[in-house]
Amino acid sequence: MNRIVLENIYIALRAIRGQLLRTSLTVMIIAIGITALIGILTAIDAIKQSINSNFTSMGANTFTIRNKGQNVRIGRGGGKPKTYRSISYAEASRFKEIFSSVATTSVSGLATFSATVKHGSEKSNPNISVFGADENYLLTMGYQLSSGRNFSSIEQQTAANVVIMGGALARNLFKGNIDPIGKTVSIGNNKYLIIGILKEKGASMGFGGDQNCIIPLNNMRQYFSRPDLSYVINVLAPNANLLSVYIGEATGIFRMVRKVDVYDEDNFEIIKSDNLANILIDNIKYVTLAATLIGFITLLGAAVGLMNIMLVAVTERTREIGIRKAIGATNNMIKQQFLTEAIVICQLGGLLGIILGILIGNGISIIVDGGFIIPWIWIIAGIITCYLVGLFAGIYPANKAAKLDPIEALRVE
C-alpha cells in the first residue's frame, strides 16, 4: 500500500512538472489563502502577547478608576451605550487627597492624541498622545526615566511648560548623539522644556509610552481644557495580595466623592491592568474571525481553480489513462492517482503559504515588540485544510478519469 502511495506521489510530481506554469499559478493562489490565514492569525497571537506584556508591566498591584462607559468597543452590536458624567478634576483631586494615605495615587488626563511635536526642522507625525499628569504618574504607570527627572512640586503648582518625553519620540526628533534634556520643543502653540526621557519599553499598539508626551497636570488644565475632559485615577497598592481589599475601599470612597446614592449603580469603573488587556483581546476575536473568513474564501477560489486544472488534465491525459487501464490499472487506482495529484498540489501551496505566513506574522510581531511565534495549531489546521481542499477539488475529476472506457480512451488522438 505504501509503495502505491509513493508511486502516485511520484506520478503527481511528474505531472506537475509537465504543466509547471499552470500548476504554479494554482499553488500560488492556495499559498495566498494559507498566508492570509497563518500570517494574520500569527500576528494576532503576537498582538495578544504584546498587550498582555504591556499591561503586566504596569504591575499586578495597580488599578485604574475612570469614567464608566469608556471601554474599547469594536464592532459591538446592541443599542447605544449609556453615557455617564465625566470625572471632574475636583473629584479626582479629592479622592487622591483621601486615598494617598492608603496607597500611592495619581491623577491624569488625556490632553490630545493627535499632537505634532516639533524641534527645529524636525517634527513628529500628528499622532502623539499628550497626557497631563501629577508627580506620582510615572510610578503608578510603571514608567522609568532613562535620563532627566520627574516634575517638581513647584512645576506642578505653577503649571510650568515642561515635558517628559517618550524615548522613541526623543530619538526621532534629536538625531545623532544630541542630548534632549534642556532642549525646547513645540507642542501645539506652546513651547516646552524637556526635563526627562522615558525608558523605552516597546510602543506596542501605542501603550508603551515611547511616542507619548507628559506635561504637568495644571498645565494641561490651562492649555488643553475642554468640557468633556474626564480625569483618570491610577492607584499603586502596597500589597498585591490585598488588591481586592484596596479596590473595595477605593470604590466606597469614590462613591462618596461622586455623591452616588446608596441604591444607585457606580457611575465609574475600576479596572485592573489585566482586565483592560482582556477587553482589548476580546475585541480582537472579530479580527480573527474576519481573517479566517478571508482565508477560506481565497481557498475556495483556489479549489475551483484546481478542479478546473484537474479536469483539463483528465482531458489531456485520456490516452495515458487508457494505456494504464489496458495494462491492468483498476478504476480505484486511477482515482487514487488523480486525487493524490490534487492533494500534492494543495500541500505544496500550503507549505509555501505556511512559510510566508510565519514570516509575515512574525514581521508584524517585531513591529509590535512581540516575541517569535510558531503557531503550531494554525500550521496543523492549514495542513488539514489543504488536504480537504485537495480532496474537494480532486474528487470529481478523479471519478471522471476512473469512469473512462479504456477502448475509447486509447482511440483518442
- Which comes out higher in pLDDT, residue 237 or 317? 237
Whether pLDDT at 59 is above 70: no
pLDDT at residue 75, as a whole number: 45
> How many CB atoms lie under 10 A from the CB of residue 243?
18
Name the amino acid, one letter, at 350: G
Sign, CA dihedral 200-201-204-209, equals negative
pLDDT at residue 212, as a whole number: 92
Q: Which three cell numbers stand for residue 164?
A: 517628559
pLDDT tens for each residue of 344-395: 888 888 899 889 888 888 887 777 666 677 878 878 888 888 888 888 888 8
- The tally of CA atoms less than 13 A away on the side-chain side of residue 266 is 16
pLDDT tens for each residue of 186-228: 998 899 999 999 988 754 444 456 889 999 999 999 999 888 8
Whether pLDDT at 56 is above 80: no
Whether pLDDT at 73 is above 50: no
pLDDT at residue 369, as a whole number: 66
Contact indicator for 31, 349 with CB cutoff of 8 Å: yes
pLDDT at residue 205, as a whole number: 45
Helix (H/G/I), strand (E/B), else coil: 280: helix
Between CA 379 and CA 397 the distance in angstroms is 28
Contact indicator for 29, 308 with CB cutoff of 8 Å: no
Between CA 245 and CA 158 the distance in angstroms is 36
| Average pLDDT of the residues of the chain | 82
Per-residue b/e over 311-332, b at no fewer than 16 CB within 10 Å? bebbeebbebbbebbeeebeee
pLDDT tens for each residue of 279-319: 666 667 777 777 778 777 877 887 887 888 788 877 777 78
pLDDT tens for each residue of 101-159: 889 999 999 999 899 999 988 999 898 999 999 999 998 888 889 999 999 999 999 99
- Find, among 377, 403, 367, 279, the residue nearest to 37 by Cα: 377
Whether pLDDT at 81 is above 70: no
pLDDT at residue 14, as a whole number: 75
Percent over 90 (pLDDT), the chain: 29
Average pLDDT over every residue of 242-253: 90
Mode of pairing for the β-strands spanning 162-165 and 190-198: parallel
Whether pLDDT at 95 is above 80: yes
